[in-house]
Homo-oligomer: A and B are copies of this chain.
Amino acid sequence: MTTPLSPTPRTTVTRSRHRAVSERAELHALLEDALVAHVGVIVGDHPVVVPVAFAVDTEGPDAEGTLYIHGSVAAGWLTRAAGATVCVTVTEIDGLVLARSAFHHSVNYRSAVVIGEARAVTDPVERAHALALTVDHLVPGRTATLRPTTRKEDAATALLAVPLREASLKRRAGDPVDDEEDVAAGAWAGVLPLARAAGPVVTAADAAGVPVPDDVVARVRAWRGSH
């Protein structure tokens, strides 16, 4: 899927337009890399922002892709969000931009902002698929190694779907952009790259001696290979 993003006024990037990336493929790549999303909901008269695990289905019910977030049915904000407009923001920090002036200090990052109506997912097939995607988002292939979810576990899980239709993507990459006079003055400037470091795996105390499964080993290797 490489259809361009189709932003409405509320997801059109009004500042730093050169940082808006209108390629849906890059949005999906960011959502693949990130492990946590920050979901904004209105509770009473103020916003609340909650970190959540998530998954994306590019073959899901929405043509542009579907973002799934889940949590306990006991989480008030999650049940309250069903039917409401939510904002889901996903950010990855790629480095510190250390300029010659405080003003030009910045951060290299990729960030997606998705605004949409959250739909409570009730269809059993869609629910099972979305929850499998959420586990496989943490460790690809892991769902296939686990026992099935029980009816009681499923009943305890609230699941919301947000269409990826209204989405915007921003990013900054590369060197600091300093004022000419500051460059001429000869001070240092540069980027301190940041990435995710994974491992070593810690086997649970109640699994001592059981070998680490292949899916987990592959996940650690993939992250180590990426930086």
Contact = CB atoms under 8 A, between A and B. Distances in A.
Interface of A: 10, 14-15, 35-36, 38-51, 53, 72, 74-76, 85-89, 91, 93, 95-96, 98, 100-103, 105, 107, 109, 111, 113, 115, 131-132, 135, 138-139, 142-143, 145-147, 149-150, 153, 156-157, 175-176, 178, 182-183, 185-207, 210-213, 216, 219-220, 227
A72 B15 contact: yes
A98 B186 contact: no
A49 B196 contact: no
Contacts of A207: 183, 187-190
B203 A188 contact: yes
Contacts of A147: 100-101, 182, 185
Given A89-B51, A192-B220, A212-B188, A149 B42 contact: no
B101 A49 contact: no
Contacts of A188: 203-204, 207, 210-213, 216
